[in-house]
Amino acid sequence: MISRLYIFVLIGIACVVFTLSCASKSSLNKDGDRSGLPTQGIEFSKQVKAMNDRILMRSLSLGRDLHRDYKIGPEDLIEISVFEEEKLNKSVRVSSQGNISLPLLGILRVKGLTANELEREIRDLLAEKYFQDPHVSIFIKEYRNQRISVIGAVDKPGPYDVTGQKTILDALGMAGGLKEDAGPLLFLIRPPQPEDEVSKGKEDFEAMKPKTFVIDLEELLVKGDLTLNLSLIHGDVINIPVAGKIFVGGEVKSPGGFPVRGKKLTVSQAIALAGGLGPKAAGSETKIFRYSENGAGKEALSADVYAIQKGQGQDLYLKENDIIIVPVSGTKAFFIELRDTVKGLVGFGVSMASF
């Protein structure tokens, strides 16, 4: 009797140990066995950390050069000193057109110049007519406020009011760096500038569109290509989409990024997610820009959206981080502009006839 009871106790203990063992394994699987994480995910996490370290170091080092490289703009207050003539020493506010007015020299265009460049220009002008080897110094007393927005996979997204010249690295530093799920691309979206509209002519519809610059974060932050560290201006929006998306831009109705992770998405489906082609689209000349799997760079693929819609073209499957660009058709743009002009003239004629 005692031996049977002893056997039952041993069996019970074994069952409890087995149950606890299974529970601990189940708990480990639920929480995620970190040792089983894909190597690619670990490497990408390390890469994002390295990028954030680069952002921090670069933003700190650039802090010393902001005033030297700052480009003068409207509403800035500039202090001008000329050693040879006290009457020329004054503080002037840059007009909304980017000009200042000085005794002897009249109206000067200063927008877009650095302080050093303006010093040289004033010195050269004074040397032509008034002084031999004049000494000129420029100090920017007040900087205009600029608003820059950083959105997407950053630690602290949102709008930032800044003064002085800022760059992409500065903005990423202010936004706390990249999150671990940040994708490999940064999009800098720049609103149309008034001077662009004047120089190109308001009839040029392209002047009214925002510009988008695509920056490869690995090239900028890991390989150190500082030509990609663009200077920012008022109204710029920086967007770092999360990984696992495709991006559709150009002549579509709703450009943007769309999730693709775990899905099979084709070119035509991506165009549909972006609201379809715009009225001026050259759908037959659509391009797909893709990162090579071996890391050798990017490749460009061609797609004919019209042929795909008719069932006559290959509807390619997309990969994460593919960029689809639909260009504008010059012919369509011309006829649409012509149609709108005719409509305007007809409306003008009707309104005149009503008097």
* CATH code of the domain in which 158 resides: 3.10.560.10
Residue-number span of the structural domain to which 171 is assigned: 43-62+145-242
SS3 letters across the chain: CHHHHHHHHHHHHHHHHHHHHHHHHHHHHHHCCHHHCCHHHHHHHHHHHHHHHHHHHHHHHHHHHHHHHCCCCCCCEEEEEECCCHHHCEEEECCCCCEEEECCCEEEECCCCCHHHHHHHHHHHHHHHCCCCCCEEEEEEECCCEEEEEEECECCCEEEEECCCCEHHHHHHHCCCECCCECCEEEEEECCCHHHHHHHCCCCHHHHCCEEEEEEHHHHHHCCCHHHCCECCCCCEEEECECCEEEEEECECCCEEEECCCCCCEHHHHHHHCCCECCCECHHHEEEEEECCCCCCEEEEEECHHHHHCCCCCCCECCCCCEEEECECHHHHHHHHHHHHHHHHHHHHHHHHCC
Does 254 reside within a domain? Answer: yes
Task: For residues 180 and 282, state if they share a domain.
Answer: no
The answer to whether residues 191 and 331 belong to one domain is no
**What is the percentage of the chain residues whose pLDDT exceeds 70?**
66
Q: Is the pLDDT of residue 339 over 70?
A: no
| pLDDT (mean) for 167-189 | 88
- Do 120 and 226 lie in one domain? The reply is no
Pair (253, 118) in one structural domain = no
Looking at the structure, do residues 51 and 159 belong to the same domain, yes or no? yes
How many structural domains is the chain composed of?
3
Same structural domain, 56 and 182? yes
Do 54 and 202 sit in the same domain of this protein? yes
Higher-confidence residue: 45 or 313? 313
Instruction: Please write the tens of the pLDDT for every residue from 281-320.
Output: 899 999 998 876 554 567 889 999 999 999 999 999 998 8
Q: Are residues 233 and 268 in the same domain?
A: no
142, 177, 198: which is the final residue of a domain?
142
Verify that 154 and 53 share a domain, yes or no. Answer: yes
Domain boundary among 220, 242, 264: 242
Name the domain boundary from 84, 110, 142. 142
Q: For the whole model, what pTM was predicted?
A: 0.51
User: Does residue 78 form part of some domain?
Assistant: yes
Q: What is the pLDDT of residue 297?
A: 60
